[in-house]
């Protein structure tokens, strides 16, 4: 009864406590029927149990090892399998956009080659041709390093045109520091790279001395 305190008899409280494990809807129906108190609502029963700490013991989670009630059941209408995609089958836009393994493309100024069909995200299905060529001769690229093209032409995939450098060098080779390696004259590129490498080595040595 909203707005009015509910008086519970000791016998009623004992009856409810003895059945505290019941779902609240079932407990409410049983209580009203047994004690003939139609004015008692389910919310009143639930609130009483919460105040008294009479919990059902249920957490709302499936217990470990629980078997789903629909395990092994087929939820697809009979005959629907006729419209299912077969393994490896593509249609529509996916089929039109598909490129076979070995296809090359230009992305972000780099020549890339498709190396697989299933990696996710889809960008991992492609790899730089310059990187593939360089690793074929020098082995895997060291961790924390990247390749820098020496002549500034990213489409030149000759392994001799690429050098492995720490990624920390890249900002110093851009226009941010006024060097703009890629746009510099060819005779200045080796000098810019050498100065940048010396600066990086000096910074690493200074950091090691402090630690």
Q: Greater confidence, 72 or 103?
A: 103
Over residues 2-12, mean pLDDT: 83
Query: CA 125, CA 138: separation in Å to the nearest integer?
Result: 22
Helix (H) or strand (E) run with residue 106 in it:
strand 104-107
Number of separate helices (H) and strands (E) present in the chain: 6, 5
Write out pLDDT tens, residues 128-164.
999 999 999 999 999 999 999 999 899 999 999 999 9
Residue 94 has pLDDT above 50, yes or no: yes
Residue 98: both structure tokens together: 């598909």
Cβ burial, residue 137 (10 Å; 0-12/13-18/19+) = exposed
Q: Is 24 helix (H, G, I), strand (E, B) or coil?
A: helix
Q: What is the pLDDT of residue 1?
A: 45
Residue 172: both structure tokens together: 């110093």
Q: What is the pLDDT of residue 111?
A: 96
Interhelix angle 10-18/24-35, rounded to 10 degrees, is 140
């Amino acid at each position: 009864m909203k707005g009015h305190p509910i008086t519970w008899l000791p016998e009623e409280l004992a009856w409810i406590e003895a059945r505290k494990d019941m779902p609240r809807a079932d407990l409410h129906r049983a209580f009203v029927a047994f004690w003939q108190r139609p004015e008692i609502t389910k919310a009143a029963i639930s609130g009483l149990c919460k105040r008294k700490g009479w919990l059902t013991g249920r957490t709302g989670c499936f217990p470990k090892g629980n078997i789903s009630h629909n395990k092994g059941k087929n939820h697809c209408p009979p005959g629907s399998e006729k419209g299912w995609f077969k393994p490896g089958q593509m249609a529509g836009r996916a089929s039109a956009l598909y490129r076979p393994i070995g296809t090359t493309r230009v992305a972000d100024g780099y020549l890339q080659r498709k190396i697989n069909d299933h990696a996710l995200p889809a960008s991992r299905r492609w790899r730089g041709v310059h990187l593939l060529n360089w690793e074929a001769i020098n082995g895997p690229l060291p961790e924390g390093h990247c390749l820098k093209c020496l002549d500034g032409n990213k489409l030149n995939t000759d392994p001799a045109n690429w050098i492995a450098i720490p990624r920390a060098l890249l900002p110093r080779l851009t226009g941010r520091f006024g060097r703009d390696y890629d746009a510099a004259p060819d005779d200045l590129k080796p000098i810019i790279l050498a100065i940048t490498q010396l600066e990086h080595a000096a910074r690493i040595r200074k950091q090691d001395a402090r630690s």
